[in-house]
Amino acid sequence: MPVAQMLAADVLSRQDPVLAEILLSELDRQSTTLQLIAAENFTSPAVLAALGSPLANKYAEGYPGSRFHGGCEIVDVAERIAADRAKALFGADHANVQSHSGSSAVLAAYAALLRPGDTVLAMGLPFGGHLTHGSPANFSGRWFDFVGYGVEAETGLIDYDQVRTLARTHRPKAVVCGSISYPRHIDYAAFREIAHEVGAYLIADAGHPIGLVAGRAAPSPVPYADVVCATTHKVLRGPRGGMILCKSELAERVDRAVFPFTQGGAQMNAIAAKAVAFGEAATPAFTAYAHQVVANAQVLADELGEEGLAITTGGTDTHLITADPVPLGVDGRTARGRLAAAGMVLDCCALPHGDARGLRLGTAALTTQGMGEAEMARIAVLIAGVLREDIDARSAREEVRELTGRFPPYPG
Ligand SMILES: Cc1ncc(COP(=O)(O)O)c(C=O)c1O
């Protein structure tokens, strides 16, 4: 049954129409505006079905075959399937699929490998590091001594020489590679070499590119990193959640770092939904999707550049684009507001140069809707027109409605 009908006909509509209306309104918002947030996607109805299943009722502290609760014999099978599918998909020795989120996965990776006070080298937050990479507002910044590497102001590319120099100077216990906004492939072999030289662990925080890795559209960190942390809800198109991949030697430490050290009972509905998503990601259709995500991002980046936005690094290798709208006479925050009013939803982000905020956008959700290069070119013109105020918000919204009407995320 189509998702909207499912919701409307659902018991929730009869029991709690107020909440049912909110769910339907959100579905309408997602279906009639352009979801350009780089970290978002549309999960399949099958993933949504697993999330909303009775597995949500089950308490399952521990791991398959070794639980603290009774009645886990069926959910154990679900978790084994999820872990086996993740291992096969990514060629990993071990997969822990219990992390509640990407941040929880990173917390567990640190717990497995580090002690409070250890030095960690990671991308600095002003350059695209995540909160878990040493923000003072996050556990990471309070419990570890973070040293930040950056990107070159001119090119926006990671300065691997700087990473090496900082590693030699500070002798970190772990090096973290991964970012919330870096649009280029990361050279995992270079990071491995640097970490190896100073005797540090290499943690790849691959929350963003992991879906592209699954679809063979981006290089894999698995052969290089001691531990790979990831989210399951971005390009990978699974439920909101996290996972950790690692080599066999670290499997026990990672598992203990997740439960009981940093988490309690596993969310079995989310784990089943992860299994469904991994199953989908192993298909040729997903490989084609991942490559189309990148092709779409490259066209969108090129066309936005043609329209006058300054594209960080001059383009993208991934689903993700960061851009400075200032050449069009508008700063990042104002640009985001103008685009939101026109029905185009995206984020602000740090830029490699100065303190100004730029725009971060991605093509994962649009590509799931079936949009291709022609639509990306049209969206670029629309974005630039709205930013220049050549196109008013009302006309832009109409065009967005026309576009989303032809590419509904949940047809039917
Ligand atoms: C690199 C990276 N690490 C960690 C996270 C955190 O994921 P979550 O929001 O699921 O905690 C993200 C999410 O944007 C991310 O991009």
pLDDT in tens, 373-390: 999 999 999 999 999 999
Distance 180 CA to ligand 1 centre (A): 7
Instruction: Give me the catalytic one of 240, 256, 378, 388.
Output: 240
Task: Determine the atom of ligand 1 nearest the C-alpha atom of 178.
Answer: 1
Q: Is the pLDDT of residue 147 over 80?
A: yes
As a whole number of angstroms, the distance between CA 120 and CA 185 comes to 22
pLDDT one-digit tens code per residue, 11-68: 888 999 999 999 999 999 999 999 999 999 999 999 999 999 999 999 999 999 999 9
CB neighbour burial string for 270-280, b if at least 16 within 10 angstroms, e if fewer: bbbbbbbbbbb
378 part of the active site: no
240 part of the active site: yes
Annotated binding-site members for (6S)-5,6,7,8-tetrahydrofolate: 125, 129-131, 249
State the pLDDT at residue 11. 87
Mean pLDDT of the chain: 96
List 119's β-bridge partners, or say none.
145
Q: Which helix (H) or strand (E) holds 189?
A: helix 188-197
State the pLDDT at residue 355. 78
224 part of the active site: no
Q: Is the pLDDT of residue 112 over 70?
A: yes
- List the beta strands (DSSP E) in 150-270: 174-177, 201-205, 227-231, 242-246
CA angle 111, 117, 120 (to 5 degrees): 70
pLDDT one-digit tens code per residue, 181-238: 999 999 999 999 999 999 999 999 999 999 999 999 999 999 999 999 999 999 999 9
Instruction: Give me the catalytic one of 10, 21, 61, 373.
Output: 61
State the pLDDT at residue 5. 61
pLDDT one-digit tens code per residue, 344-368: 999 999 898 777 899 999 999 999 9
Q: Is the pLDDT of residue 1 over 90?
A: no
Mean pLDDT of the region 96-111: 98
Those residues whose C-beta lies under 8 Å from the C-beta of residue 54, and which sit 6 or more positions away, are none
Our separate counts of H helices and E strands in the chain read: 17, 15
234 part of the active site: yes
Instruction: Give me the catalytic one of 234, 237, 338, 397.
Output: 234
As a whole number of angstroms, the distance between CA 311 and CA 181 comes to 12
Q: For each of the domains in the chain, give its residue range(s) and CATH number, in order of start.
A: 54-281 (3.40.640.10), 284-406 (3.90.1150.10)
Distance 205 CA to ligand 1 centre (A): 8
Structure tokens at 47: 């993933």
As a whole number of angstroms, the distance between CA 362 and CA 334 comes to 19
List 358's β-bridge partners, or say none.
349
Structure tokens at 314: 């001059």
State the pLDDT at residue 353. 76
State the pLDDT at residue 412. 78
Whether the bond between 54 and the residue before it is cis, its omega within 30 degrees of 0, is: no
Contact 403, 378 (CB under 8 A): yes
Q: Whose CA is nearest to atom 8 of ligand 1?
A: 102
Distance 316 CA to ligand 1 centre (A): 20
As a whole number of angstroms, the distance between CA 351 and CA 100 comes to 29
State the pLDDT at residue 231. 98
Q: What whole-number percentage of the chain has pLDDT above 90?
A: 94
Q: Is the pLDDT of residue 2 over 70?
A: no
Whether the bond between 239 and the residue before it is cis, its omega within 30 degrees of 0, is: no
Q: What is the largest CA-CA distance in the chain?
A: 64
